[in-house]
Structure 1
Amino acid sequence: MEQAIVIRSEIRKCMQEEGFTLGGFSKATEIRGSYLSLLLNHDPHKYPLPMRHFDSMIQALGKPEGWLYECYVDECFITGKTDRRRVEPFLLRCAELGKTECIERVLSRLMENLNQLSLVFEIAEKVHAAGNQQGAVPFYECVAEHEKHQHSETLAISQYRLFRAALGQDLHKNRFAATRFAPFRKRLPVEYQLDGLLQLANTYYTLSDWRRLGECADELIALAKVVYQEQHQRKTSKREKTPLNTERHLVLYYGKGYLSKATAYEKQGLYAESKKCIEGYADLSWFEGLDEVGKKEVQMFQIFAVANSYTLEILMGHSYVLSEYTNYLSMHKHEILSGLATILESANKYGFSVDETLEMLSKEILEFKQREDLPGLGWRLRFHYYLSIYFLGKGKIAECIENTLQSLDLSVIINNSGAFAQAVALFELCRGQATDAHLNNYKGLLEEVRKRERFNLGFHNY
């Protein structure tokens, strides 16, 4: 009640300061004069202030958006019970303006009655649908904390939304987000399951968690096959056809399952098994229901299949395909970064020269800094690390140090403590020939890690 009085008192005071009469303020806010008088001068219990009128008053008085919102929290419950007509628009506006403290206070009051949890979820979905992924997080966290039925669909969707919102450049945080979401993946509706498995596969890939990537790939393949068969059956039957509401075309999930499984095998040195999985996505032109988007996905998988076949040859030490692979990369620029990292990894292992390849693709190498997405950052880290080892083997210590420092910097950015430790060991090996500029750069990176104090030293996947 006290906060309701504060709101009305402040509005009346500002009206006087701005020279508003009741009639003038009525015109400015487009609120009927008699009703405006009741809102500002009578018992707030009988005449609660609607959210839309409150915002109109704020605008008419020239106050910043969100003015006195901290006081409006009590207004949502002023009649002694939850009034959705005030609670919902207020929470939506708070999410829009980033008023997290106000949101938390309202949610705390709402959770005194757990029957309001469905309202919280509905608001979360509206905020998310408006494109405000981070603004929806407090609402989904509220559902995750208070939903008692662990097999609830709303709980599973909330965990999925939280997982997607948590993903970023920090590998440690991504691992935590994946671990938290994974137990709920099979409780999602089918369309969310497909997207959830796709995002889990992408996350396990960036974490270099090849075992979990393989398991996730198996689930994605199996689910995509079931959905494809169901869609095909609906098409040939007279039953009502329900469109599949997924973020990507169904063929993407099918192909990505085989691509992820092939990658998991490849990273574990199981090259024969990886080759078989490549066959699973190399030609998906048979896939029924392909529109223009689906056809483009099929074309991309064809490109991936060729590139990954070259990758396997290189990883097995078959340097005779290097020239052919280099020409292929020059024609498919989006494959150059990962391709070069793989070529350098194999060159270091088998001792063949890649100088001509590096020279041929030198212009493209200069563009690697444009890759700021997490997979791109991971591949840049690997490229510079393997390149530093390559230069070390050729006795080019200055170039080795420069690339080591770049891999150190990237490992800090994505919070990869395992890669950081490997790069530190490599730098220390060359410290005796480092310049003052190199040493200052190195010291600065170590200071950055110390200040952040965020590396998870138990995480050593590279």
Structure 2
Amino acid sequence: MEYAIAIRTEIRKCMQKRGYNLSNFAKASAITSSHLSSLLSEYPSRPLSVQHLDRINVTLGNPEGCFYELYVDECFLSGKPHRSRVKPFLLRCTELGKKDCIEQVLSRMMEDLNYLSLVFEIAEELHFKGNIQEALVFYECVVEHERYQHSERLAVSQYRLFRAALGKDLEKNRDAVTRFAPFRNRLPVNYQLDGLLQLGRVYFTLRDWDRLGQYADELCGLIKIVYHEEVQKKVRKQEHVPLNTERSLVVYWGQGYLMKATACEKQGLYEESKKYIKGYADLSWFEDLDEQGKIDVENYKTFAVANSYTLDMLMGYAHNLEDYTQYLFDHPHEVLPGLVVITEAANKYGFAIEDTLAKLSNRMLKPEHQEENIYTGWRLNFHYQLAIYLLRNGQIRDVADNILKMLEATILLNNSSLFIQGISLFESCKDQVSEFQRNEYRNLLEMVKKNESFDLSHRNYITLLLLGLDKTKSNLL
């Protein structure tokens, strides 16, 4: 068998430069002379492992990863990838950030797609070790080269890429769900549950209530099947194999109904929403609840009370405002989403909320375990609705402050359409704001103008607004 010569030649040159011969290098590296000779001779009789290469580099005082580019050939002796060298080498490359070496090896491996299973295996090993970002290049390789569109490893790879892609940028999240959604039903059931839950959360932040309702229905249907099967296994005394879901089963049950109730509420289907609230208001009947499961049941009970008050507000039942205000005061983690609803209802039905705002203004705590995008979305909507309420009451300075906070939130979420709504509101009262507020407004416009992900027509509009601000300023001077 012919082995890669170039790397051995370079190692021998480096040994000679450092004053080593085979004997004293063997002693320094703790590799036996016979073994070292069989690895580095002009006609080697055994392959060089990446572990041996690392030990050689340490002995020579070379930086980690030295000669790795040359080692790629060692992975493909006889033209085929050798698992015993390829896998350890790729894992070591991920540790050292040797992206070029990884790309070279993957490119050559994909000349034979039978090795795609090894790429997926490496990706999963990295993922379960917590090396999420390092695993992505391997999942992307699977997605790019998988021939069978219904294969489980393709669906899992798409799922891993989807979860890793989710962040604060709503447009990137939209792209991520669009890529992943067609593969959701091809996943193992534990990933299906988590995947549907994440799809619902993303579409909530995107304010796409139709799709939120769609995935809520799917989640409700799937969790009922899964729960029934788990109960039947217990009745039949079958061996219990954990599903390995991220959350307890009661969470998926409760979240499915919560998502559906929310979708109905946002579409004005308030009576329909009430029916789904009943689906998660009392889940104490759920079997085999552990301590966390019991906490989850209590959380959903709390959500049901809060969301029932929400529907009352949205239906114009202002007589319940005092009770709802006290409820929110006693549950500070519910204050921000509650105030979003209260200000929206006040704007719709024209009732006063000054007492509520005064009582709750200092109790807007971030809900525990709440995703940042959802929390930021609540802040955005609260400041927008409050700005409308204050504008109706002639409190212009406070209007401007709330619009500026809303605009900051839209930038965090990269939500260009809501940014435009915010600047339209600011423009309606900009002649009455302070110079400081006007400068803050200018800074936000400048920030968005440089953001290439914002819609081009929006950026052109912003350019015109900036010109108008400059003209106003010069007239004042």
Q: What TM-score does the superposition give when structure 2 sets the normalisation length?
A: 0.89
Question: How far 1:240 moved relative to its partner?
Answer: 3.1
What residue is the counterpart of 2:465 in the other structure?
Answer: none
**Is residue 210–residue 264 contact of structure 1 (8 Å, CA) maintained in 2?**
yes
Instruction: Name 1:30's counterpart in structure 2.
Output: 30
**Amino-acid identity (%):** 59
**In structure 2, how many angstroms separate the alpha carbons of the residues matched to 1:434 and 1:62?**
66
Instruction: Flag the 1:363–1:129 CA change in 2: closer, same or farther, 3 A.
Output: same
1:187 paired residue number: 186
Contact 1:417–1:457 (Cα < 8 Å) also in 2: no
- Equivalence for 1:338: 337
| CA–CA distance in structure 2, aligned partners of residues 6 and 118 of structure 1 | 30
Q: How does 1:231-270 map to 2 (within 5 A)?
A: 231-270=230-269
Unaligned runs of 5+ in 2: 459-477
Residue by residue over 1:324-371, the C-alpha shift from the partner in whole angstroms, topping out at 9 and shown as x without a partner, is 212211222221121111211112222222222222223234879x98
Cα separation, partners in 2 of 1:59 and 1:413, compared to 1, 3 Å: farther
1:316 maps to amino acid: M
Counterpart of 1:102 in structure 2 is 101
Q: Deviations over 1:186-206 (max 9, x none)?
A: 111111111111111111111
Q: Which moved more, 1:211-220 or 1:431-440?
A: 431-440
Report the 3-state secondary structure (helix = DSSP H, G, I; strand = E; otherwise coil) of the residue aligned with 1:150. coil
Q: Is the 8 A contact 1:371 1:377 kept in 2?
A: no
Q: In 2, Cα distance between the equivalents of 1:24 and 1:351?
A: 90
Report Cα offsets for 1:100-138 as digits up to 9, x if no partner. Answer: 332222111111001011111111100111111121111
Structure 2 Cα separation of the partners of residues 457 and 387 of structure 1? 29
Does 299-308 or 396-405 show the bigger shift?
396-405
What does 1:298-377 align with in structure 2 at a 5 Å threshold?
298-365=297-364, 373-377=372-376
Deviation for aligned residue 1:295: 0.9
Is the Cα–Cα contact under 8 Å of residues 29 and 53 in structure 1 kept in the other structure? no
Higher deviation after alignment, 55-64 or 351-360: 55-64
Letter in 2 for 1:107: L
C-alpha separation in 2, matches of 1:13 and 1:441: 63
Match of 1:146 in 2: 145
Q: Is the 8 A contact 1:282 1:301 kept in 2?
A: yes
Which whole-Å CA distance do the structure 1 matches of 2:97 and 2:326 have between them? 50
Mean alpha-carbon deviation: is it higher for 273-282 or for 333-342?
333-342
Q: Does 1:213 align with 2:208?
A: no
TM-fit CA distance, 1:19 = 5.9
Worse overlay, 201-210 or 58-67: 58-67
Distance 2:27 2:388 in 1: 74
SS for the counterpart of 1:135 is: helix
Code of the residue aligned with 1:417 in structure 2: it is S
Q: What is the alpha-carbon distance in structure 1 between the residues aligned to residue 38 and residue 216 of structure 2?
A: 63
Q: 2:35 is aligned with what amino acid?
A: Y
The change in CA–CA distance for 1:69 and 1:236 in structure 2 (over 3 A counts) is same
- Contact 2:335 / 2:365 at 8 angstroms: preserved in 1? no
Change in CA separation of 1:116 and 1:430 when aligned onto 2, cut-off 3 Å: same
Equivalent AA in structure 2 for residue 311 of structure 1: T
SS at structure 1 position matched to 2:231: helix
- 1:137: which partner in 2? 136
Query: Contact conserved, 2:5 with 2:42, CA < 8 A, in 1?
Result: no
| 1:374 counterpart letter in structure 2 | N
Q: Which residue of 2 aligns with 1:288?
A: 287
Q: Distance in 1 between matches of 2:434 and 2:370?
A: 28
1: distance between equivalents of 2:306 and 2:456?
34
Distance in 1 separating the partners of 2:394 and 2:20: 80
Deviation at 1:72, TM superposition (A): 2.8
**Structure 1 residue 322, shift from structure 2 partner:** 1.8
Give 3-state SS (helix, strand or coil) of 1:77's partner.
helix
Report if aligned partners of 1:251, 1:287 keep a CA contact under 8 Å in 2.
Answer: yes
Tell me the matched-pair count.
455
RMSD: 2.4
List per-residue Cα deviations over 1:48-68 (Å, max 9, x = no partner): 321112222334444444344
C-alpha distance in 2 between matches for 1:318 and 1:175: 36
1:173 and 2:172 equivalent? yes
The amino acid of 2:30's aligned partner reads E
What is the one-letter code of the residue matched to 1:391?
Answer: L
> 2:114, 2:90 → 1: CA distance?
17
Structure 1 SS opposite 2:223: helix
- Structure 1 residues 9 and 250: alpha-carbon distance in aligned structure 2, compared to 1, 3 A threshold: same
1:92 maps to amino acid: L
**2:413 is matched with which residue?**
414
Higher relative CO (Cα under 8 Å, sequence separation at least 6) belongs to 1
